[in-house]
Structure 1
Amino acid sequence: MNEKFRKYWENYSLILSFAVILDPRYKLKFVEYVFRKIYPTNYSEKVRHIYEKMEELYLDYYRISSISSTTITSCSRVINEDHDEAMDDIDEFESIFCQNDSQNETKSQLDLYLEESKLDARVKIDVLSFWRSNKSKYPILSIMARDILSMPITTVASESSFSIGSQIISKYRGSITPDNAEALLCTRGWLYGSKAFEDEESGTEDSIGDVEKLVLTMQTPET
């Protein structure tokens, strides 16, 4: 059991660490602080691994984003447009600026975000609202934060429903109507949810007596 727990925790803790890093009150420093307590001998390796994986994820978002191509297009448009002689100096300045800017842009939005000072951890904020308000500053990273910090989907409810449904609609009840199936599900909920069946495991009462007791309980007016 411990082996399985470690196997799944290694993968699950990765996305949880991403969520903590994208909280401007904690960032990577908090992950390092916690991992130092959990893994005192090799915490630096694990923190480095988390950062590398997050950087890989960011690069995936960067590749599918149209922001980089839009920036390149805007620079080329400034360089190639023809203006009168009075704008020659401005054109030359803009072309040099665009070239230098594209060459010197070595830091990603992720690095710039991590280099900024974190917010006070004691202040309550809406993290999604923070990224919504900073999407112009970190356009790609804000999309990544939106996906990571969104409510995760779960299949527990649907699997539970199918599990209960298979007990009602068995191979001997293949032609049961939806109304009858709903009635059986409701009856099952009433039976197992009634206080009259708390001592069902004791075996002191048979099924007919239980149903009669339940009916009497449901018909008794509230006091």
Structure 2
Amino acid sequence: MCGIAMIRLLKPLDYYIKKYNTPLYGINKLYLLMEKQHNRGQDGAGIAHIKFDVAPGTRYINRSRAVGSLAIKEIFAKINSRFEEIYKKNPECLTNSSWLKKNVPYTGELFLGHLRYGTYGGNNIENCHPFLRQNNWMTRNLVVAGNFNLTNVDELFNQLVELGQHPKEKADTVTVMEKIGHFLDEENERLFKRFKKEGHSNEAISNLIGEHLDVQKILKDASKKWDGGYAVTGLFGHGDA
């Protein structure tokens, strides 16, 4: 079956660098959690990551995916190679948390990992979780991973079409993500109108939406007509998970 792992670091990156002498504390813990769930039937893996409190213009969402029985090792070897390169050229940068968060992927606070046991679609990277729904508004970004066996994908797909959407494929994961995304957009619109009416600036509204986003309502509305078995996890761009 599919495996899911999530880590939320509660301290700043600098804390882990000083205590454990590495900026890789979070990514190393994610690797261990994913390896514990690794079995022979799995044919792919993926991870996603979100940084908190970064300046506009700085990438704050990262994702890596790979297929095959060695997907976990491939993903983490690629990530580690970046840090090894920094160590060779500028080792002092590995203790500079501000520089790392600005310049290096996977040096933030929120991590999501998924191991794929394929029951639908081919064994290619496009079918590997996590799935990413991107937007220029931080609170509209959505990352989803899970273990799905929905029995009414056609019905859910048709509902998206009736809403005016044009889904790129008829798969349970994509359908689930777009259902959540639809109600995430609605919640963002509702909060934007509320705070705009109160006289807040657009920049201030972005932060206020993140503080007041009703995740429970979004998920309750999105999952109302899901039928079947599923375990789902996800991240929002501003840090809710």
- If the TM-score is normalised by the length of the shorter chain, which range does it land in? under 0.3
Of structures 1 and 2, the one scoring higher in RCO (CA 8 A, sep 6+) is 2
In terms of fraction of residues, the more strand-rich structure is 2
In terms of fraction of residues, the more helix-rich structure is 1
Larger Rg: 1
Q: Normalising by the residue count of structure 1, what TM-score does the alignment of the two structures yield?
A: 0.25
Q: Normalising by the residue count of structure 2, what TM-score does the alignment of the two structures yield?
A: 0.24
